[in-house]
Chains A and B, each alone.
Chain A
């Protein structure tokens, strides 16, 4: 359980994070979304105590991160896969981290095996590809078998295979009951992974809701209809208050009306339909709309927090 309360962090004149409050629960993957520069990394640095907040508190399992007995057993965090000494071998990199938390040496070999780096364990990490560096960083987070995991943009620059691997790993970690908190500036990355979303823009909270809620509330749902009698249909639907448009491929796009209503009206008017589909605006668009407006309108909270308080 990670709790952020009223977190504010300024760098000089720039306010990177502005009164941020949210909680992250165990057993699911929580996506941390926001455009580049929204304050995601700063928030994560404050959680880990790398940066000191100007205001507010951050607790991990109810304590300051620096007060955790064995931090690596509580939290595995990967902020920057390249934040390693390139002259050190993968094995020694993990060993020096394991030693700080009195973790047994055998863990090093185990996590290297788990992430698929056992064969290059003795190689200096300078020569690693970004994908291999990410795997090394993830190996480090797993050393202490932590209850919580935090990843900052973990799939940046990875090939499709690597992306899939990380997604499955995050899901598996959450399925084991761990807290998984992962940031991204791309909604598409979260779509198939996250159970819960925290969206920020310009350092402020925009949304804190389940993925399902986010999808449901995404504005711009429309109904796509293909019919040989388009003119009749448009006349009938606009009479009922729908907004219609013709797509490039000749299909009718209907807004402001459910698919059921469109079907019923067509039936009543004896209009033959060849296709009737509910279309969601892409989540990417919904997300961008949300964060763009946060910049313009100074971030109210359009989506109320729906975090259901369990355990923790």
Chain B
């Protein structure tokens, strides 16, 4: 079939001749332009940093202050987990919103029709979106996780039980409160130490830097997997509010409801929920690890399987459905 020659009088320049075909590289460049050129990306990333680092600092600062009232609380203290809890519990939701919107905003604005007209090979568009989102989330999550960790540990440095990436830290296993003229009181509860009493520690557990590093990186990986999961949900439902609601249900509500189940079922089910990993990867104080869950990597694997399944299901429908 011959093509009709067009002479160009409207546009000043002539395009270079085309070779090959539009592919993944161009699509990735395009998706990166898309994500960096809307304000919502910056707002949500700013929210992620404020929440993960700001709330993290409030929690760790408050914890350090409470130790001066009651040093007994230092027993079995997991300084790494407490510095990351705001990031992996609340930050994950903000990441889920960014991730879901990376695809649902194309539908809410109608942009998807324009995008798929420019690049009709939908698998390419979908893969590019997933790659750009995952890379961006991974980088941002790693930075957030490390900053939250270092800020938190700096605020708790006076306690003597803050965590370190560079040397081992010894944390007491138990604490008993001893008061003059009385026998040991047993572990103290929430309040401060009664006047004249003091905490007596027994046993110890050594936290190695490698365990801490795994927790900091593991939380970032967990949050990145949450992003992939939320992106898949977004592709499935194509609606921002619905996608976010489903993601919150999967990460927050189902785990809470699940706690109402009888114990012997509960733990068997819990291992297979997408959010269970964050209860393992963030733990550096070995004795307090949940014995019913698998260790960090298998548990992250469960989250990864959820993310992969939802990503694949979303991709299947993205290709199959009318846009």
Do residues A176 and B9 form an inter-chain contact, with CB atoms below 8 A?
yes
Of listed B3, B6, B30, B323, residue having the most chain A CB within 10 A: B6
Q: Is the interface of A mostly helix, strand, loop or mixed?
A: loop
- Chain A 63-74, CB within 8 Å of chain B: the 1/0 string? 001101111110
Q: Is the interface of B mostly helix, strand, loop or mixed?
A: loop
Do residues B6 and A176 form an inter-chain contact, with CB atoms below 8 A?
yes
Interface size class of B (residues with CB under 8 A): 35 or more
B121 at the interface (CB under 8 A from A): yes
Do residues B110 and A50 form an inter-chain contact, with CB atoms below 8 A?
no
Do residues A71 and B38 form an inter-chain contact, with CB atoms below 8 A?
no
| Chain A residue with Cβ nearest B27 | A100
A140-197 with Cβ < 8 A to chain B: 140, 142, 144-145, 147, 169, 172-173, 176-179
B12 at the interface (CB under 8 A from A): yes
A34-60 with Cβ < 8 A to chain B: 45, 48-52
B90 at the interface (CB under 8 A from A): no
Query: How many A-B contacts are there with CB distance less than 8 Å?
Result: 158
Q: How distant is B30 from chain A, measured CB to nearest CB, in Å?
A: 4
Do residues B323 and A50 form an inter-chain contact, with CB atoms below 8 A?
yes
Report the bound CA distance from A229 to B284 in whole Å: 111
- Residues from chain B with a CB closer than 8 A to the CB of A201 are none
Do residues B15 and A104 form an inter-chain contact, with CB atoms below 8 A?
yes
> Which of B7, B12, B13, B22 touches A71 (beta carbons < 8 Å)?
B22
Known A80-B110, A83-B114, A101-B118; contact A96-B11, beta-carbon cutoff 8 A: no
Interface size class of A (residues with CB under 8 A): 35 or more
Known: A48-B120, A100-B118, A172-B10. 16 other contacts (CB 8 A): A45-B323, A50-B322, A62-B1, A83-B110, A84-B114, A85-B109, A87-B40, A88-B37, A95-B33, A96-B30, A99-B29, A100-B30, A101-B26, A104-B16, A107-B15, A145-B11
Chain B residues within 8 Å of A, Cβ to Cβ? 1-16, 18, 20-22, 25-27, 29-31, 33-34, 37-40, 105-106, 109-122, 322-323
Query: Can you offer 21 A-B residue contacts whose CB atoms are under 8 A?
Result: A1-B4, A45-B323, A48-B117, A48-B120, A50-B117, A68-B21, A69-B20, A69-B21, A69-B22, A70-B22, A88-B34, A96-B30, A96-B34, A100-B26, A100-B118, A101-B26, A114-B10, A169-B10, A172-B10, A176-B10, A179-B4
Q: Which 10 A-B pairs have the closest CB atoms?
A: A83-B110, A92-B37, A69-B21, A66-B120, A99-B30, A96-B33, A99-B29, A26-B4, A100-B119, A51-B322
